[in-house]
Structure formats: C-alpha cells, structure tokens
C-alpha cells in the first residue's frame, strides 16, 4: 500500500492523518478513503492514484475534472433545493494550488471530499435503484449541456469507437500474443459474427444524425452515489472519462451493468439473466429527465445501445484476455475471459428480447 500519510500532506487539508483504507472495486485506478482529525472532528476524503498508463494526459484529465465539477457546482447553486456540496464531487487542491500531485515514485494523485451518508452498490438492488441511477445520469448530462467551450479533452482517444475496438480484437486474435485463442474459441466466434453492427453510432455521429454531447462514458451502476436517507440518486462520480460522446454510450453501459442478475465476472452463465423489468425502470428513469433534451434519433437507439455497449465491453475484455491481461486489473486466472463470457451472454439474451425492449422504449417515450 502507498504511504497515504505522506501523500495527503501534499494537499490543502487541515488536520492530522488518522487512517487510510482501500476503497471501491475499480479496474483501472487505485482508490482510498483517508480520514484526518481536525478541530471539528474526523473528516473524510477520497484519494485516487490515477493510472497514467491508461490516462496519458493527466493534466488534461484533471482540467476536465475541474471544469465539469465547477460547472455542476455553479448550476446546482442556482437551483432551489439542491446541494452542490453533496450532488457533485468537490476537488481538494494541492498545497501548491494544483489539481493533482506527483509523488516521488511518479504516481499521480488527486483528492476530493468524501460524500457522507451515501453509498454505491456493485449490483442493482431494486427497481427503484435502477430508476434513480438512470435519472441521475440523465440529470448529469442535462446540467452539462451548456458547459462553456472549448470541448473537453478526450482523456482516452476513441474510447467508445466500437469499430476500432473490434479491429483491435481481430488484431489480437491474429497475434495471439498470450497463446490463449484456443481457449476462447466460442467467444471469438460469437464476437466475429457481430462485426457489422459496430459502426451504427460512430457513423451517425460523423454524419450529424446523432449529436455530440458531454457524456460520462463509464456509467456503471457503482458510479452513482445513492442517498442513504431517501434512496434517491445523489451524485455521479468517477469522472475520468467525461468527454465528448453520445448519450447512447452512457445509456448502453447502464443497461450492461444494471439489468443482469449476476456480477460482471460471474463464472456460472446459468446465473446470468437479463431482466427486462430492470431495463424498463432504466428507460423510465432516464426519460423522466432525458425527454426534455434527447432527440428522436437518440431515443430510437436506446434499446440497441444496450446491446452495442455490452458487446463493446465484452470485446474489450476478450481482447485483454488474448493480449495477456495488460489493461484491466485481474484477480484470478481467466478473469477477463469470464468477464467477456458474461457480457456476451447478456448480449445474446438482449438480442432475443430486442422487440420487447424496443416496445418498452416506444411506450415510455409516448408517456
């Protein structure tokens, strides 16, 4: 574990360091909760080591973070009944006034205030949870629609460019760098049979058929804090990938992480069931705010986006498996293969329920 006491001393935080514990279950960064004791009692913070192999432009990323949270704070402060101190992240600057600190080992660190009396959950707990998560992401997008120019920095270029993700998979299959392709034959076959659908969203973005917006791009169910007091969606977190994108990326990743009965890396596919009622809640929660600003083309592709993004993350896991686990953190042998399989099982089930999904979206859009 890193020396969080020494790292926290670089930030503008009053009080004596008490403790640090690892937090969360992310695949890329390292997250810690840090507690200090100051004159009013204990105060909690989140510290994160930003994976700078994945995020090559940490200064650009943190500038995005500053602009996005600053904008959200200003907007929330202007709205009656809203609480900017809990409904968006509050960054803690370094003593030098910077947005991040580089330690002696070359690690990049940032800090923000811990939002108390709220939790994230790795799996959906109820229909209301699904509705609230989706409503909160839609609200996040709505509040960012008037983020002043220039556009945000692309923190990972082509992050949701599904055809490029697909091309990377075919290259990984050919190279077979880790000698694993024989073990992944069914998954490779499943993926290769679905190449033609990968360009729908990028083509429409390029032709103007879909608008570019400020999107989150990593809308896992555990990236929205739920208020302990009333179960309402409170605060969107994990802002590393906030950048220009399509809302279909955001809605699609909510479908991927909220509608299944099993964890992302479940080994027993018998436990993986796509729940159409959770999909319906997501659609309703998302459109409760989104119908104010979404275009008909965006609404018309919501059901497709669930399949597309679940497939896209599936091929990313499969690519990483074939390349020898170089990107996502893994905690057991074949971890990325299990993850890919689960995603593909979800895609398979969504394909077989495509018509019902379309009907749910159409009905909610009319309501």
Does position 241 bind ligand GN1 by CB under 6 A?
A: yes
Q: Which does 46 bind (CB under 5 to 8 A by kind): ligand GN1, ligand ADP, Mg ion, none?
A: ligand ADP
- Which is closer to ligand GN1, CB of 75 or CB of 165? 165
- In the list 28, 89, 133, 247, the residue contacting ligand GN1 (rule: CB under 6 A) is 28
Where are the extended beta strands (E) located within the chain?
16-22, 30-38, 41-50, 91-92, 101-102, 108-113, 118-119, 213-215, 224-227, 233-236, 243-245
Tokens 């002696």 locate to 104
Between the two ends of the chain, the Cα-to-Cα distance in Å is: 52
- Which positions ≥6 away from 37 have C-beta within 8 Å? 15, 16, 18, 43
264, interface contact from ligand ADP, ligand GN1, Mg ion, none, CB < 5-8 Å by kind: ligand GN1
Give the CA distances from residue 330 to residues 12, 50, 263, 312, 320, in Å, rounded to whole numbers and listed in that order. Answer: 34, 17, 14, 19, 10
Query: Cβ 55 to ligand GN1, closest distance in Å?
Result: 7
What is the gyration radius of the CA atoms in the chain, in angstroms? 20
What residues between 264 and 293 interact with ligand GN1 by CB under 6 A?
264
Would you state the structure tokens that stand for residue 128, as one six-digit string? 């209301």
Q: How far is the CB of 279 from ligand ADP (least distance, A)?
A: 23
Cβ of residue 253: shortest distance to Mg ion, in angstroms?
Answer: 11
What are the φ and ψ backbone dihedral angles of 202, each rounded to 5 degrees?
-65, -35
How many residues belong to the site for ligand GN1 (CB under 6 A)?
Answer: 10
Residues 105-134 as x/- pattern, contact with ligand ADP by CB under 6 A: -------x-xx----x--------------
**Residue 34 forms beta bridges with which residues?**
20, 45
In the bound state with ligand ADP, the residue whose beta carbon lies nearer, of 113 and 276, is 113
Instruction: Name the residues that contact Mg ion, by CB under 5 A.
Output: 26, 223, 238
Q: Which of ligand ADP, Mg ion, ligand GN1, none sits in contact with 138, Cβ below 5 to 8 A by type?
A: none
DSSP letters spanning 241-254: T-EEE-HHHHHHHH
- Sequence-distant (≥ 6) Cβ neighbours of residue 263 within 8 angstroms: 122, 123, 342
Comparing CB distances to ligand GN1, the nearer of 238 and 325 is 238
Rounded distance between C-alpha atoms, residue 354 and residue 346, angstroms: 12
Contacts with ligand ADP, 334-363, as mask; x by CB under 6 A:
------------------------------
The reply to whether 46 sits near ligand ADP by the rule CB under 6 A is yes
Q: Within 10 A of 154 (CB to CB), how many other CB atoms are there?
A: 16
Question: What is the closest distance, in whole angstroms, from the C-beta atom of residue 297 to Mg ion in the complex?
Answer: 29
| Cβ nearer to ligand ADP, comparing 36 with 115 | 115
Q: How far is residue 151 from each of residues 137, 144, 147, measured CA to CA in Å?
A: 20, 11, 8
Among 36, 62, 72, 89, binds ligand ADP (CB under 6 A): 89
- Nearest-CB residue for Mg ion: 238
Give the residue closest to ligand ADP by C-beta.
Answer: 26
Interacting residue with ligand GN1 among 129, 220, 335, 341 (CB under 6 A): 220
Q: Is 23 in the site for ligand ADP (CB under 6 A)?
A: yes
The yes or no reply on residue 313 touching ligand GN1 (CB under 6 A) is yes
Q: Does 298 bind ligand GN1 (CB under 6 A)?
A: no
Q: Is 319 in the site for ligand GN1 (CB under 6 A)?
A: no
CB burial readout 207-235, b (16+ within 10 A) else e? eeebeebbbbbbbbbbbbbbbeeeeebbb
3-state secondary structure of 47: strand
d(CA 297, CA 200): 12
The Cα 228–Cα 123 span in angstroms is 16
Confirm or reject binding of residue 222 to ligand ADP (CB under 6 A).
yes
Task: List contacts with ligand ADP (CB under 6 A).
Answer: 23-24, 26, 28-29, 31, 46, 89, 112, 114-115, 120, 222-223, 237-238
């Amino acid at each position: 574990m890193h020396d969080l006491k020494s790292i926290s001393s670089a930030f503008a935080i009053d009080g004596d360091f008490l403790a640090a514990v690892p937090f969360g279950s992310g695949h890329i960064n390292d997250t810690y909760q840090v507690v200090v004791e100051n004159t009013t009692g204990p105060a909690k913070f989140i510290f994160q080591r930003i994976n700078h192999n994945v995020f090559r432009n940490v200064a650009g990323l943190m500038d995005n973070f500053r602009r996005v949270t600053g904008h959200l704070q200003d907007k929330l402060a202007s709205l009656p009944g809203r609480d900017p101190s809990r409904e968006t992240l509050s960054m803690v600057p370094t003593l030098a006034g910077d947005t991040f600190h580089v330690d002696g080992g070359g690690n990049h660190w940032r800090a923000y205030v811990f939002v108390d009396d709220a939790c994230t959950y790795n799996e959906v707990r109820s229909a209301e949870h699904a509705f609230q998560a989706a409503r909160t992401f839609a609200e996040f997008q709505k509040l960012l629609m008037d983020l002043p120019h220039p556009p945000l920095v692309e923190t990972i270029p082509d992050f949701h460019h599904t055809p490029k993700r697909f091309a990377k998979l075919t290259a990984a299959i050919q190279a077979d760098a880790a000698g694993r392709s024989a073990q992944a034959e069914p998954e490779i076959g499943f993926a290769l049979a679905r190449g033609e659908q990968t360009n729908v969203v990028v083509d429409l973005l390029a032709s103007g058929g879909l608008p570019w917006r400020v999107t989150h791009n990593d809308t896992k169910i555990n990236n929205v804090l739920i208020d302990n007091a009333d179960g309402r969606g409170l605060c969107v977190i994990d802002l590393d990938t906030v950048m220009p994108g399509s809302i279909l990326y955001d809605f699609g990743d909510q479908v991927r992480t909220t509608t299944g009965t099993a964890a992302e890396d479940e080994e027993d596919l018998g436990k993986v069931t796509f729940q159409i009622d959770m999909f319906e809640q997501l659609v309703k929660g998302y459109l409760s705010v989104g119908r104010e600003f979404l275009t008909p083309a965006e609404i018309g592709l919501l059901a497709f986006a669930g399949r597309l993004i679940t497939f896209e993350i599936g091929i990313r896991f499969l690519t990483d498996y074939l390349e020898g686990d170089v990107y996502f953190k893994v905690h057991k042998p074949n971890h990325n293969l299990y993850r890919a399989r689960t995603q593909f099982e979800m895609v398979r089930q969504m394909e077989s329920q495509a018509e019902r999904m379309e009907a749910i979206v159409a009905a909610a859009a009319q309501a």
